[in-house]
Structure 1
Amino acid sequence: MQKLIKTVTLSLALSLAGGCSYVGVYKRDLPQGNLVTQEMVAQLEQGMTREQVKFVMGSPLLEAPFNANQWDYLYRLDEAYGGVEQRRVTLTFANDRLVNITSEGNLSSDIELPSYEGPGPATEGTGPDDGIMSPQPTTPDGPTTTPGV
């Protein structure tokens, strides 16, 4: 009986000690939102139309639901083993023209996003079928040819 108690106690102690050990967890940087740079904001000028702003900045992450004249471009980078960097640019329109630019965060610092290789989804343009041309459309009489080719 004592041998059984010693065996159970030893097994329990080893299990508890093994469960308390630190095993590192793999973390990745987590970028979210629209990446906004100082160069992009420098291209903005008061009086630009919404379409011109979209050409420079892209579509806004947030359009205020109760104020259609305000666009917000947010960017947040949660570094795996570091801090959090946040950037925000708020654009205000009047009569469909840009009238105010407000920014928060350090837009002038460069952000280097590492290219992740390994398990996980591939980035666009790096798939195994990228070098393969799509087949030409066919008709019931056979493949369609392009004149002059």
Structure 2
Amino acid sequence: MQKLTRIVTLSLALLMISGCSYFGVYKRDLPQGNLVTEGMAEQLRPGMSRRQVVDLMGSPLLEAPFDARQWDYVYRLDEAYGGVEQRRITLTFNGGRVVEIEREGDFSTAPPLGDERGIGPDREAAADDQEAPLDNLTPDRP
């Protein structure tokens, strides 16, 4: 009986520890914020209106709550098995026009947007479905 108790205890301990295995955990990159590229940042100029900035960059991620003259465009990529990449552009307005542009982070490389396959169905399978004739989908009529 004592041997059976040891076996059951050991089995339960191993079962509980196996649930904490590192090898079974899936992690993925987590991008957040406004996607800001080098090309977009290069087109920003002092004197641009708010409308021109929104047309170029999109809506800002943050508007300073106590100073409506400041807009922040922040992009943050938390890599699953790596570090954190952050880019930030802060625009300061005076009278509805950009007066100051502050850049923070490395804009020289494009941020990764996903793997080669992308999200969703396989592209090759989707292309095969589009090329299939529709004649074989209608029932035969006598």
Give the structure 2 partner of residue 62 of structure 1: 62
Matched positions, count: 116
Q: Any gaps of 5 or more consecutive residues in structure 2?
A: 127-142
Secondary structure of the structure 1 residue equivalent to 2:112: coil
Find the aligned partners of 1:67 and 1:44 in 2 and give their Cα distance: 21
Give the structure 2 partner of residue 99 of structure 1: 99
Q: TM-score, normalised by structure 2?
A: 0.76
After TM superposition, the runs of 4+ consecutive aligned structure 1 residues lying more than 6 A away are none
Could you report, residue by residue, the CA deviation over 1:67-98 in whole angstroms, capped at 9, with x for unpaired residues?
Answer: 00000001111111111111111000001000
Q: Any gaps of 5 or more consecutive residues in structure 1?
A: 119-125, 127-149
* Alignment RMSD (CA, Å): 1.6
> Map of 1:129-144 to 2, 5 A cutoff?
none
Letter in 2 for 1:79: E
2:48–2:97: 8 Å Cα contact kept in structure 1?
yes
> Map of 1:20-59 to 2, 5 A cutoff?
20-21=17-18, 22=21, 23-59=23-59
Secondary structure of the structure 2 residue equivalent to 1:72: strand
Letter in 1 for 2:7: L
Q: Using a 3 Å threshold, how does the CA distance of structure 1 residues 7 and 117 change in structure 2: closer, same or farther? A: farther
How many Å apart are 1:105 and its aligned residue? Answer: 0.9
Q: Using a 3 Å threshold, how does the CA distance of structure 1 residues 79 and 117 change in structure 2: closer, same or farther? A: farther
2:38–2:110: 8 Å Cα contact kept in structure 1?
no
Q: TM-score, normalised by structure 1?
A: 0.72
Letter in 2 for 1:28: R
Give the structure 1 partner of residue 2 of structure 2: 5
Find the aligned partners of 1:14 and 1:36 in 2 and give their Cα distance: 53
